[in-house]
Chain A
Amino acid sequence: MHALAATWWTVLRISLEERLVYRGDFALSTLMRFLPIVTQIFLWAAVFSATTKTEIAGYRYEEFVAYYLLTMITRAFSSMPGLASGIARDIRDGTVKKYLIQPIDMLGFLLAYRIAHKLVYYVVALGPFALVFFLCRGFFDGWPAPHMMAAYVASLVMAFLLGFFLEATIGMIGFWFLEVSSLLFVYMLFNFFFSGHMFPIDMLPGIWGELVRMLPLQYLAYFPSAVFLGKVTGVELARGLLVQLGWVVFFIVTSRLAFHFGVRRYSGYGG
């Protein structure tokens, strides 16, 4: 147990140091990531100006802007740049065998590495995020109630875990198909549009909305933001959190199984 904790601590420390090397570049690119929101603010102002409605799909103009800003936070938790493609690359070029001969668990290592990267990201990104949210405070009605805040934090943590294990599972498909880049592209495309990153999924009418709500993707962007804005409450909130937890467990198990059966097929190319 102690050895495991020491391993985790070492991985965490190495990753922290690695990540802090380019902190200037990092803070700048974080700030720039908010630029598309500027155009979204103007776009939605223009959309609302042409209609007599004060609400679209249950969202006022201010709520739309607040939604996009909150999605940035959710994505900071759930997005895993390079995870799936990294796993697939390790499988293809044979690097994955280091996990097979060293007493270290691949998923555990990657998780610790990712947590460290995210922690550094939050420390560096806190400044730019605080600045943007302070400037945009007029779009928010105020803080949610304490129990809603707790639910929000829980959904964010689960968004991180879901993002990690979902992408890890996709990366492991590399054991069966060596090249997964086009598959990843399709995943990214779906993720962008159906996770709620591009628009609140409440906007989707009829069967489309129902279909998208059945996917786990909504928990990667839409759900936490909607919880913060008070769009999901009571029984619906409890059910949402449970379903999210269910998806997390599902993908933990699936990624484990994929790794277990994957390494049996694996034939270790490369030097």
Chain B
Amino acid sequence: MHAHPSYFRVFLTFARNSLVRDMTFRGNFLIDTFSSMSWVFMNLGFYVLIFHYTPMIGAGSGWGKYQFFLFLATTLLVNSLVQMFFMINVDEFSELIRTGSLDFALLKPIDTQFVISLQRIQWSSLGNFALGLTLIGYSLFQVGALPGPTQVVLYPLYVACGVAILYSLMIGLAATSVWLVRNQSLFDFWFYITNFSRYPMEIYRGTFGTPLRWFFSFIIPVLVVVNVPARLLARPLYPESAADWGLPVFTLFATLASLLVSRWVFNRALLSYRSASS
């Protein structure tokens, strides 16, 4: 009898249960996989179309066609990981609060945030993840650059940071449904906020763009989610200026801060939770 549950083994059980569940409805699983992949292909088509008319997104920004594809692939990796591990769970979290079923999670002898966040793994997102990796391979081949050892080590680290930042934002927003109960627009809000992260930060400039870039880098750090790892691959880290080093270092700090703040919000929310129904 262990005093503490083995988080890793519980996670493996979650993963196995979800896989069994997904494989029970195999047709549905395939449809899910292919429909989210077709969405990606359409999106890719849109950018192929844009590069039909322009050589670069942002004059002198360095985001040419294949560099930008590396950016897209990074977006795809980060988003597919968020979808795979957290999306359904966090979505269900606000429902648990509304119906009062959160009681069952609170009673379990394990960290509540852990159970809430990882209960179901959406295996069908693996398709998009694989697509992201393929796109990276293809684009690197087209660019003609092989990633060096620093990139091989740092890229996965920063992708993980991106996933952690998005997760924090999501769980933090969902936790507020303890106070608001009806939170449909909040989820839309999450979608609209992360929409800003899908483009290279160089495009936000000018009178409105610069404050916007600043806000979404340093206050709600969604811009560093994709930009930092994508830059690492597409424009290898030449220490050209202080800013080139500053942002990756800041990202580590932002990741830690996001996780801590969302943990705090989550715990506060639990304190305010009053079960619903009987």
Contact = CB atoms under 8 A, between A and B. Distances in A.
Contacts of B205: 42
B42 A189 contact: yes
A25 B59 contact: no
A101 interface: no
Contact of B188 (A29, A47, A57, A192): A29
A35 B55 contact: no
Contacts of B39: 189
Main DSSP-derived SS at the B contact region:
helix
Contacts of A193: 42, 45-46
Contact of B49 (A50, A185, A203): A203
A43 B199 contact: yes
Contacts of A198: 46
A189 B209 contact: no
B49 A32 contact: no
Given A43-B203, A45-B203, A182 B54 contact: no
Given A32-B189, A182-B35, A193-B45, A47 B199 contact: no
A17 B38 CA distance: 40
A47 B54 contact: yes
A91 to B, nearest CB: 20
Interface residues of A, number: 31
Interface residues of B, number: 37
Contact of B58 (A35, A46, A189): A46
Nearest to A179: B28
Interface in B156-211: 182, 184-185, 188-189, 192, 195-196, 198-200, 202-206, 209
Given A50-B56, A189-B35, 19 more contacts: A25-B182, A25-B184, A25-B185, A36-B192, A39-B196, A39-B199, A46-B58, A47-B53, A49-B58, A50-B54, A50-B55, A50-B57, A51-B55, A56-B53, A56-B54, A182-B31, A189-B38, A192-B42, A193-B45
Interface of A: 25, 28-29, 32, 35-36, 38-39, 42-43, 45-51, 53, 56-57, 182, 185-186, 189, 192-193, 198-199, 203-205
Interface of B: 31, 35, 38-39, 42, 45-46, 49-50, 52-61, 182, 184-185, 188-189, 192, 195-196, 198-200, 202-206, 209, 212
